[in-house]
């Protein structure tokens, strides 16, 4: 079967979409499928790699996004798809690429769209108010164009459930359980990262407005005021880097930047005491799951989806959520530090929880969707 995935917001360095596409490619190819992905770039290019066939299309840079791009011409996308003749189509962009659903339907090609974000959350985050009627209208139109809408969590599904979307399917993403592991703990690296501190906090992710990285700084300041000798390490880059750096010159913060070496990244996460995920509208957060796989507990926003996987099946804690302010995050960090010091099995429980999310399970469930489907009427 030839599966083609078209995506926007494919980061030049890293990001959730990029990680997802690469793992989908590895998984589909292991099942014997041909996988081709179309992504935005500076110019047209075509190559083959371990993930499948990659076609890069001319695109616009999104201002203040840290380098994210969107494909310029959906007409060019359709022309390429027409030539490639996919058996199945996947789309990662509910906005500018949603027209591909109708294109596929007219040609009787089953198509699914991944909703990687909550529109309700994005609107409120960027505009400061709700547009519920618009959100419902957009989501209704989106679902009508595709055979399936795929979400990853209850939180991501909620705005589609509100309008009774009948073709909604919830499939969690996975985590690389080989690379991210408690065995990656490196005492020498931890000492280097701490620089004389006692508690090592990491914030792993893009430094962009919707991720609220400033919340991690606020939490650190609060902890320092309470006498906690902590250091915060930001792993990642983004448009807010300079602003965050300038506002934190007086406190123990390290901006490590983007880490291309996957082994080093895994060691850094595994060597931390706590991973902070303050994004209030995260619909999954691969970085949080990678932290759990590394044995590192997580403190996350209580308005995001991350809390859905911070309790193990037996009810034990592998992380905590907090209100969206620095003091509340500091409270949860202190509480989690205490719990971790009293519970020698915390790191193993984090790992066990992450093992419920192998990429193989994601691929299996997507493969089930890609079996013969009832085709939507054009």
Statement to judge: residues 342 and 363 lie in one domain: no
**378 assigned to some structural domain:** no
**306 assigned to some structural domain:** yes
Statement to judge: residues 247 and 274 lie in one domain: yes
Residue-level pLDDT at 261: 95
Antiparallel, parallel or unpaired: β 45-49 and 2-7: unpaired
Statement to judge: residues 187 and 333 lie in one domain: yes
Report pTM: 0.93
Statement to judge: residues 84 and 137 lie in one domain: yes
**375 assigned to some structural domain:** no
Report d(CA 100, CA 312) in Å as an integer: 39
In CATH, what number is assigned to the domain containing residue 45?
A: 3.40.50.2000
Q: Does 275 score more than 90 pLDDT?
A: yes
Q: What is the pLDDT of residues 53-92, one digit of tens each?
A: 999 999 998 887 767 889 999 999 999 999 999 999 999 9
Which residues constitute the domain of residue 239? 182-354
Q: Does 166 score more than 60 pLDDT?
A: yes
User: Which residues does 27 contact at the CB level (< 8 Å), separation at least 6?
Assistant: 359, 360, 362, 363, 366
Statement to judge: residues 167 and 143 lie in one domain: yes
**256 assigned to some structural domain:** yes
**70 assigned to some structural domain:** yes
Domain count along the chain: 2
Statement to judge: residues 212 and 270 lie in one domain: yes
DSSP states of 183-240: GG--HHHHHHHHTT-SEEEEEES--SGGG-THHHHHHHHHHHHTT--EEEEEEB--TT
Statement to judge: residues 298 and 327 lie in one domain: yes
**377 assigned to some structural domain:** no
Q: What is the pLDDT of residues 167-208, one digit of tens each?
A: 999 999 999 999 999 999 999 999 999 999 999 999 999 999
User: Which residues does 281 contact at the CB level (< 8 Å), separation at least 6?
Assistant: 117, 118, 121, 122, 124, 125, 210, 303, 304
Statement to judge: residues 316 and 199 lie in one domain: yes
Residue-level pLDDT at 378: 45
Statement to judge: residues 195 and 315 lie in one domain: yes
Statement to judge: residues 251 and 365 lie in one domain: no
CB 314 within 8 A of CB 358: no
Q: Is 173 exposed, middle or buried (0-12, 13-18, 19+ CB in 10 A)?
A: buried
Statement to judge: residues 86 and 192 lie in one domain: no
**295 assigned to some structural domain:** yes
Produce one character per residue of 333-355: b if its CB has 16 or more CB atoms within 10 Å, e if not: bbebbebbeeeeebbebbbbbbe
Q: Does 155 score more than 50 pLDDT?
A: yes
Q: Does 373 score more than 70 pLDDT?
A: no
**374 assigned to some structural domain:** no
Statement to judge: residues 161 and 196 lie in one domain: no
Mean pLDDT of the chain: 94
CB 346 within 8 A of CB 297: yes
Q: What is the largest CA-CA distance in the chain?
A: 65
């Amino acid at each position: 079967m030839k599966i083609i995935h078209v995506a926007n917001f494919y980061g030049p360095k890293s990001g959730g979409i990029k990680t997802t596409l690469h793992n989908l490619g590895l998984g589909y190819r292991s099942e014997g499928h041909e996988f081709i992905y179309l992504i935005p770039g500076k110019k047209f290019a075509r190559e083959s790699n371990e993930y499948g066939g990659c076609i890069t299309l001319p695109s616009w840079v999104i201002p203040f996004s840290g380098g994210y791009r969107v494909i310029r011409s959906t007409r060019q996308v359709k022309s390429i798809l027409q030539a490639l003749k996919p058996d199945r189509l996947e789309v990662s962009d509910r906005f500018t690429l949603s027209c591909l659903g109708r294109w596929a339907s007219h040609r009787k090609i089953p198509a699914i769209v991944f909703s990687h974000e909550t529109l309700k959350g994005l609107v409120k985050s960027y505009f400061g108010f709700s547009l519920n009627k618009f959100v419902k209208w957009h989501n209704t139109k989106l679902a009508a164009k595709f055979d399936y809408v795929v979400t990853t969590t209850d939180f991501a599904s909620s705005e589609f459930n509100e309008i009774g979307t009948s073709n909604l399917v919830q499939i969690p993403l996975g985590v690389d359980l080989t690379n991210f592991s408690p065995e990656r703990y490196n005492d020498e690296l931890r000492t280097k990262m701490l620089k004389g501190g006692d508690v090592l906090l990491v914030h792993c992710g893009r430094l962009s407005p919707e991720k609220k990285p400033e919340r991690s700084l606020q939490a650190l300041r609060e902890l320092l005021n309470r006498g906690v000798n902590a250091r915060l390490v930001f792993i990642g880059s983004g448009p807010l880097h300079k602003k965050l750096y300038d506002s934190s010159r007086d406190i123990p913060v390290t901006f490590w930047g983007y880490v291309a070496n996957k082994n080093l990244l895994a060691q850094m996460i595994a060597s931390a005491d706590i991973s902070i995920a303050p994004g209030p509208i995260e619909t999954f957060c691969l970085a949080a799951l990678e932290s759990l796989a590394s044995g590192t507990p997580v403190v996350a926003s209580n308005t995001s989806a991350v809390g859905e996987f911070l309790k193990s099946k037996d009810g034990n804690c592998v992380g905590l959520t907090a209100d969206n302010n620095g003091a509340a995050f500091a409270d949860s960090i202190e509480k989690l530090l205490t719990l971790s010091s009293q519970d020698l099995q915390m790191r193993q429980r984090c790992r066990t929880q992450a093992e419920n999310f192998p990429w193989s399970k994601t691929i299996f469930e997507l493969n089930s969707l890609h079996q013969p489907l009832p085709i939507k009427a054009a």
